[in-house]
A = this chain, B = another copy of it.
């Protein structure tokens, strides 16, 4: 029960892209080198963010990745869901009706966490962060 490294890479990349130019894309090799991960692997991760509509990719010379238009609305939860999926953290084999309190407690706990991640936007923190 941990967040995957892919989520880590995605968060760092998003923060970097937020700080960068909104028009000129950054190549994946630069993004990968910055984080000590292989370009092809990071590319595969970023493709999920592309499909989620939060970044855009540009092929060819001087290509790379840049944020999409609606950059101000991107939340931590958006990024995490794009990478980890949206499945519930606690799954049980059977469903014993609505009165099941175990599920209720676990689900509510998860919602507490997600609520915080949803209320924190990339914009809120980009100014403070400095990734080397």
A residues 14-70 in Cβ contact with B at 8 Å = 15, 36
Closest Cβ of chain B: how far from A58's Cβ, in Å?
A: 26
Assuming A2-B87, A2-B89, A89-B3, is B101 touching A108 (CB within 8 A)? no
CA distance A117 to B89 in the complex (A): 14
- The interface size bin for chain A is 35 or more
Contact of A125 among B4, B105, B116 (CB under 8 A): B105
Assuming A1-B1, A3-B89, A89-B2, is B131 touching A105 (CB within 8 A)? no
Contact with B along A90-132 (1 / 0, CB 8 A): 1111001001111001101110111111001000010011111
> A71 at the A/B interface (Cβ < 8 Å)?
no
Q: Which residues of B contact A92 (CB under 8 A)?
A: 8
Q: A2 contacts B113, CB within 8 Å?
A: no
Q: Which residues of B contact A131 (CB under 8 A)?
A: 96
